[in-house]
A and B are shown apart, each in its own frame.
Chain A
């Protein structure tokens, strides 16, 4: 009787959909404030990092650090057991989302290069600072919010599956009688 249920064993720290919303919203607001304060310097800074070749690595590092820190904070505030498995899962999902974001930016970069080569539409080949500015906001917000949504959905699915098991067993027992 004193044994932990399977659902508790799999998800010691329960997350909620709104857990990462405040952090994602605050980062989005800081992003807008940075753009309003430095309308020329901020896009140029992003473009310089992108051209330097360490844009995605920096982004992945920052997002993983922010998400892991947030998870630890949530566990501490609710007095829940810190799950290393969930920590690793959040990190994995964040890095996967950065890869998806990287594919999107590289696709936009190729499109810009093709239009430059074929039509000479813009003054430079590849993605511009303004376009990079748009995609970066998207990457940051989804990189913070979506891992938590996916973890919440996974936890809901796992606990739903385990709560179904006793019902199935009861139904099988009553059918056997």
Chain B
């Protein structure tokens, strides 16, 4: 067995987690942290924004897949899986937004839990897909 670290996949993970989650939270923290406002990450993302971020992440994963040299049937099937998980994540935000527009009471706790879990799913599936892409490229080179 030889040592193998999927550097590209780790770079991808750091880029999306940093730009999508960490930087917005840090910006909010630097702007409002001293004013006594609640700057917990939950406050920033509790209306389902994490789900929306999950949708963008899934689209990015699908685009990466289509640029790869993997079998066509796999690209189509994996794109469908990623798209469905991304849409379900985006739906968490859409549902809360629709309730807000209709003047109904917000279900912050439920939206927060749903969007967080669905983002976790999109994140892990896209990350594993990146690891598989890196592994396939490595296997082709051998």
A145-B85 in contact given A39-B2, A111-B73 (Cβ < 8 Å): yes
Interface status of B117 (Cβ within 8 A of chain A): yes
Among the 9-residue stretches A23-31, A54-62, A64-72, the one with 4 or more Cβ atoms under 8 Å from chain B is A23-31
| SS class, residues of chain B in contact with chain A | helix
Q: Tell me which residues from 102 to 120 in chain B have a Cβ below 8 Å from any Cβ of chain A.
A: 110, 113-115, 117-118, 120
CB-nearest residue of chain A to B116: A18
- A18-B92 in contact (CB<8A): yes
A135 to B74, CA, bound (A): 7
A107 to B72, CA, bound (A): 11
Chain B hits for A149, CB < 8 A: 84, 88
How far apart are A149's CB and chain B's nearest CB, in angstroms? 7
Contact with A108, one of B4, B71, B120 (Cβ below 8 angstroms): B71
Chain B hits for A93, CB < 8 A: none
How many B residues touch the partner, as a band? 35 or more
Interface string of B63-93 (1 = CB under 8 A from A): 0000000110110011001001100100110
The interface on chain A, measured as residues whose beta carbon lies within 8 A of the other chain's beta carbons, has a size of 34
- B77-A18 in contact (CB<8A): no
A18-B4 in contact given A28-B124, A130-B139, A141-B81 (Cβ < 8 Å): no
Chain A hits for B136, CB < 8 A: 130, 134
A142 to B129, CA, bound (A): 13
Chain A hits for B1, CB < 8 A: 38-41
- A32-B128 in contact (CB<8A): yes
A149 to B114, CA, bound (A): 13
Q: Tell me which residues from 134 to 155 in chain A have a Cβ below 8 Å from any Cβ of chain B.
A: 134-135, 137-138, 141-142, 145-146, 149
- A17-B74 in contact (CB<8A): no
Interface status of B21 (Cβ within 8 A of chain A): no
A27 to B136, CA, bound (A): 20
- A133-B118 in contact (CB<8A): no
- B5-A36 in contact (CB<8A): yes
Interface status of A22 (Cβ within 8 A of chain B): yes
- A108-B74 in contact (CB<8A): yes
Interface status of B28 (Cβ within 8 A of chain A): no
- A134-B74 in contact (CB<8A): yes
- A137-B88 in contact (CB<8A): no
A39 to B131, CA, bound (A): 11
Q: A36-B5, A111-B71 are known contacts; what are 8 more A-B pairs with Cβ within 8 Å?
A: A17-B118, A18-B92, A18-B117, A21-B120, A40-B1, A130-B139, A134-B132, A149-B88
Chain B residues engaging chain A, CB cutoff 8 angstroms: 1-2, 4-6, 9, 70-71, 73-74, 77-78, 81, 84-85, 88, 91-92, 110, 113-115, 117-118, 120-121, 123-125, 127-129, 131-132, 135-136, 138-139
Q: Name 28 A/B residue pairs within 8 A (Cβ), A-sorted.
A: A16-B110, A17-B91, A17-B118, A18-B113, A18-B117, A18-B121, A21-B85, A22-B117, A22-B120, A24-B124, A24-B125, A25-B123, A26-B124, A28-B121, A28-B125, A32-B127, A35-B131, A36-B6, A108-B73, A130-B135, A130-B139, A134-B70, A134-B132, A135-B77, A137-B129, A141-B81, A141-B125, A145-B121
